[in-house]
Amino acid sequence: MSRRRASANQQPDVVGQVDSVRHIPTPALLCDLDLLEGNIARMAALTTSAGIGLRPHAKSHKSATIARLQLDAGAVGMACAKLSEAEAIVDQLRTDGYPRRVSTLLTSPLASADAAARALALAARCDLFVVVDHPDGVDELARAASTSDARLSLLCDVDVGLSRTGVVGPDAALSVVDRIAEHSTLTFAGVQGYGGHLQHIAGREQRRAATAASTRQLETVIDALESHGHAVSMRTGGGTGTANIDIDLGVLNELQTGSYVFMDREYRDALGDDPEGQYRHSLTIATTVISANHEDFVTVDAGLKAMATDAGAPLVVGHEATSTYHFFGDEQGMITNSEAHPFRRGDRVALIPPHCDPTVDRYDVLWFVRHDVVEQVVQITARGCSQ
C-alpha cells in the first residue's frame, strides 16, 4: 500500500458546521482564529508605532496561509530558516495569487554550490536576501549569480552570543563584507544579529541585560563596517521574547518575531506578565481520552509523536492547576485526574504545546477554529522542509 499524507481536502467535511470542532480526528493541531488574528494585529501595531519593520519568521507556522495574513497586516516580508521552507511558501503564495513579490530572508547560511544555485533560482520568484558568515559562502553565491539574471542581496550574519552561526567580531565581518563588494553580481544589504539564546530568559530585567549585551556586540560590528565605508541599511534580528526590548534599544530596524502568532508553554513560563508575554495561546493540540480505567489518571491519544518534547510537557487547558500531562509512550499521554474534574472516556482535552515551532512540523494540516466551528483546514505548506 502506498503511503499517503493527509491533505486539506482529505479531512472530514466539517467546515462551517455547528460544534464541528468535536468531529476533528485527534490528535490534531488547532488554531483559534480570534486569538491568532489578535496576535498578528498586536505585533503589527507594536512595530508600526515604533517605526520598525516586521519580518515574521515562517519557521514558527510553516504556512503560506498565515504568512499571507501577516503580510496583509503590514509585514515587510518574511524570514525563513531553510531554503526549502522558503521555496515551498513562496511558490504557494504565487499559486494562491498573492499579487506582490515577497521580500524573503534566508536566516541560515548556505554551504554548497548546489544550495547557491537553488537560491538564485528562488531569487527569480521573490526578492531574496541571504545571510553569509564566511567569504567562501560569498564566492559560491557569486558564481551562481554570474549565470543568472536574478538579483541577490546578502547580509552579514553576526554572532551575538548564540554561537550557532555568524561571524565573530568586526574583523571577520569586514572580511565577509569586503568580499561581497568584490562581486558586481551581489549587493551588501546589511547585518543579521539573532539572539535565540535570549528569547526564553525568565525575568525581564535579566532578559533586558542579556539583550543589551548582545546588541552591543552587533553595534560594534555595525560601527566597524560603516567606518570602512559600508552602508548598513538593514539591521534584522530579535524575536518574540525580546521584541519590546529590541525596540527600546534602537539598533535593529527589523524584527524577526515568529512564535507570537501561536505562543507555547515555554514562552508562558519565561515571559509571564511581561510586555513580551501579552500574546495569547492560539495553538492547541486536541486529544481524546481513549482509556479511563484508573482513578488517578486517564490515557489520551497524543504522545511523543504528537508534539516536540525538547521543552518538557504540555499544559492541560483549563486544568493547569489541577491536572498534569506525562508522556506515556509514542502514541499516548497520561493526564492526571482530580477531584474537581475527573476525565472520562471520549472526553476531548486541549493541550498547550511546550514548543510550538517543531510541534507544527509534525502535522500535515492546521484546523482554523472560531467559537467551536471549523472555518478552514489549512495545509502546513512547508512541513518537513528542512533542507
Domain extent listing, the chain: 8-30+279-379, 33-262
- Average pLDDT, stretch 175-195? 97
Categorize the per-residue pLDDT at 2 as very low, low, confident or very high, splitting at 50, 70 and 90: very low
pLDDT of the residue at 87: 98
pLDDT score at 341: 78
What is the average per-residue pLDDT within 83-102?
97
- What are the DSSP E strand ranges found in 133-185? 152-157
Where is average pLDDT lowest: 3-7, 116-120, 237-241? 3-7
Band (pLDDT 50/70/90 cuts) for residue 151 is confident
pLDDT for the residue 7: 53
Confidence tier at 90 by pLDDT (50, 70, 90): very high
- Mind listing the pLDDT tens digit for each residue in 192-218? 999 999 999 999 999 999 999 999 999
Nine-digit cell at 348?
476531548
With 0-12 / 13-18 / 19 or more C-beta atoms within 10 angstroms meaning exposed / middle / buried, residue 182 is exposed
327 in Cβ contact with 354 (< 8 Å): no
Of 341, 256, 255, 329, residue with least CA distance to 292? 341
Query: Is the distance from CB of 35 to CB of 356 less than 8 angstroms?
Result: no
Q: CA 315 to CA 295: how far, in whole Å?
A: 20
Least reliable range by pLDDT among 15-19, 82-86, 265-269, 282-286: 15-19
pLDDT given at position 19: 84
Average pLDDT (294-299) is 95
Q: Where are the beta strands (DSSP E) in the chain?
A: 28-32, 53-54, 78-80, 103-106, 127-132, 152-157, 186-193, 234-237, 254-255, 283-291, 297-300, 315-316, 325-327, 333-336, 348-352, 365-370, 373-379
Residue 196 in grid coordinates:
535565540
Q: What is the pLDDT of residue 135?
A: 98
Q: Comparing C-alpha atoms, which of 124, 173, 178, 174 is closest to residue 152? A: 124
Over range 39-44, report the average pLDDT: 98
Percent residues over pLDDT 90 in the chain: 93
**What is the reported pLDDT for 1?**
31
Is-same-fold flag (8-30+279-379; 33-262)? no
CATH number among 3.40.50.920, 2.60.40.10, 2.60.120.260, 2.40.37.20, domain 8-30+279-379: 2.40.37.20
Mean pLDDT of the chain: 95
Q: Cell numbers at residue 203, please?
A: 525575568
Q: What are phi and psi of 274, to 5 degrees?
A: -65, 160
pTM, rounded to two decimals: 0.94
Q: Mean pLDDT, to the nearest integer, of 222-229? A: 98
pLDDT at position 333:
98
Show Cβ contacts of residue 337 under 8 Å, excluding neighbours closer than 6 positions. 294, 295, 296, 297, 298, 323, 343
Domain made up of 33-262: CATH architecture:
Alpha-Beta Barrel (3.20)
Cis? peptide before 27, omega within 30° of 0? yes
Report whether pLDDT(4) > 50.
no
Q: Is the pLDDT of residue 178 over 60?
A: yes
Residue 246 pLDDT: 98
The arithmetic mean of pLDDT across residues 59-73, rounded, is: 98
Residue-wise pLDDT for 239-271, tens only, equals 999 999 999 999 999 999 999 999 999 999 999
Residue 154 confidence (pLDDT) above 70: yes
Based on the number of CB atoms within 10 Å of its own CB, is 232 exposed (0-12), middle (13-18) or buried (19 or more)?
buried
Nearest to 97 by CA among 74, 65, 121: 65
How do 283-291 and 315-316 pair as beta strands?
unpaired
pLDDT by residue (tens digit) across 317-372? 999 999 999 999 999 999 999 887 789 999 999 999 999 999 999 999 999 999 99
